[in-house]
Homo-oligomer: A and B are copies of this chain.
């Protein structure tokens, strides 16, 4: 029996037994989001809760993949296993994975202690919001003690995903102000740790002052975690051990303060809300395939009916 046709429980058992191909196959099923995705979630949920989820996010070109790659090297040198999920926000059209990232990750491709995967959704709006927590839960359930989720820190869905990690690392560059102008506030809100990557370039000190100032203005309670600002040169690994130590310190801090439990509880409730919404959306898609839909669409295009009234008509009798 080929692995492709193995039933989900067998794949799950194999993945728990360190079978990487089985794990990869489970992730593909999660991305598709069919009934099998649901089955995976059911198996993974009761077994999860021991792993720790770290988010790396920042503007395109900030060097997140290089930093992730350097982190993998460091974490492996400590003898720890880990998983990396690179979220590809790119195209609703192509759903393509990021070639460049994959190339950079190749150093680690043959290491059995590292599992790396680029995720994409071929589907509809909100696909990533649902598939990503499922994928993270699966990594946790099959025994990965650490999972890094790497996302581009621009775009409403992507920032949301990044902000749902246990520890969120925001990667900036000297002169970051320009490249993330549209998104500074969002990134400030979700950051637990700041990393100034490419810190050997000019403007690093200014960027640090800029960040400190923004933190000063953000009125943190006196007993809160103040996001540390680290400097890195990811291409040669400088600063990466310090980053990993800081992530560990943040983990300890939020574990002791009860914040970790609160975050996880909040996150799972958000996910539940998302699932309910998505199930309803699916129902809407079923509805909007028929000929009555085509007819109504024509009328809206011809401006005989407005979109909201057409929606009313489609929904009549659907929502109990």
Chain A residues with CB under 8 Å of chain B are 38, 41-42, 45-46, 48-49, 59-61, 88-94, 96, 98, 100, 125-126, 128-129, 152, 154-160, 163, 178-186, 189-190, 264-265, 268-269, 271-277, 279-281, 283-285, 287-288, 296-297, 300-301, 303, 306-311, 314-315, 317-320
Q: In the A-B complex, list the 10 residue pairs whose CB atoms are closest, starting with the nearest.
A: A155-B155, A91-B186, A280-B280, A93-B189, A45-B306, A154-B154, A276-B284, A277-B281, A275-B311, A94-B185
> What distance in Å separates the Cβ of A167 from its nearest Cβ neighbour in chain B?
17
The answer to whether A46 and B300 touch across the interface, beta carbons within 8 angstroms, is no
The answer to whether B301 and A273 touch across the interface, beta carbons within 8 angstroms, is no
Q: What does DSSP make chain A's interface, helix, strand, loop or mixed?
A: helix
Which residues does chain B contribute within 8 Å of A318, judged by CB atoms? 319-320
**How far, in angstroms, from A296 to B272 measured CA to CA in the complex?**
9
The answer to whether B281 and A92 touch across the interface, beta carbons within 8 angstroms, is no
30 sampled A-B residue pairs with Cβ under 8 A: A41-B308, A42-B306, A45-B300, A45-B306, A46-B306, A60-B182, A89-B155, A89-B182, A90-B186, A91-B183, A91-B189, A92-B156, A93-B190, A94-B185, A94-B189, A98-B181, A125-B125, A125-B156, A125-B274, A126-B126, A155-B156, A268-B300, A268-B301, A272-B311, A276-B314, A277-B284, A280-B283, A280-B284, A318-B319, A319-B320
The answer to whether B317 and A297 touch across the interface, beta carbons within 8 angstroms, is no
* Cβ 8 A contact of A283, one of B152, B155, B180, B319: B319
The answer to whether B272 and A94 touch across the interface, beta carbons within 8 angstroms, is no
List the number of copies, as a whole number.
Answer: 2
Which residues does chain B contribute within 8 Å of A160, judged by CB atoms? 92, 125
**How far, in angstroms, from A318 to B280 measured CA to CA in the complex?**
9
The answer to whether B45 and A307 touch across the interface, beta carbons within 8 angstroms, is yes
The answer to whether B300 and A272 touch across the interface, beta carbons within 8 angstroms, is yes
Which residues does chain B contribute within 8 Å of A181, judged by CB atoms? 60-61, 98, 100
Measured CB to CB, the nearest residue on chain B to A274 is B125
**How far, in angstroms, from A114 to B97 measured CA to CA in the complex?**
41
The answer to whether B273 and A285 touch across the interface, beta carbons within 8 angstroms, is yes
> What distance in Å separates the Cβ of A171 from its nearest Cβ neighbour in chain B?
14
**How far, in angstroms, from A57 to B85 measured CA to CA in the complex?**
27
**How far, in angstroms, from A42 to B163 measured CA to CA in the complex?**
37
Which residues does chain B contribute within 8 Å of A157, judged by CB atoms? 125, 155-157
The answer to whether A89 and B288 touch across the interface, beta carbons within 8 angstroms, is no
| Residue picked from A46, A309, A311, most chain B C-beta under 10 Å | A311
With A183-B89, A276-B287 as contacts: A41 and B307 at CB distance below 8 Å: yes
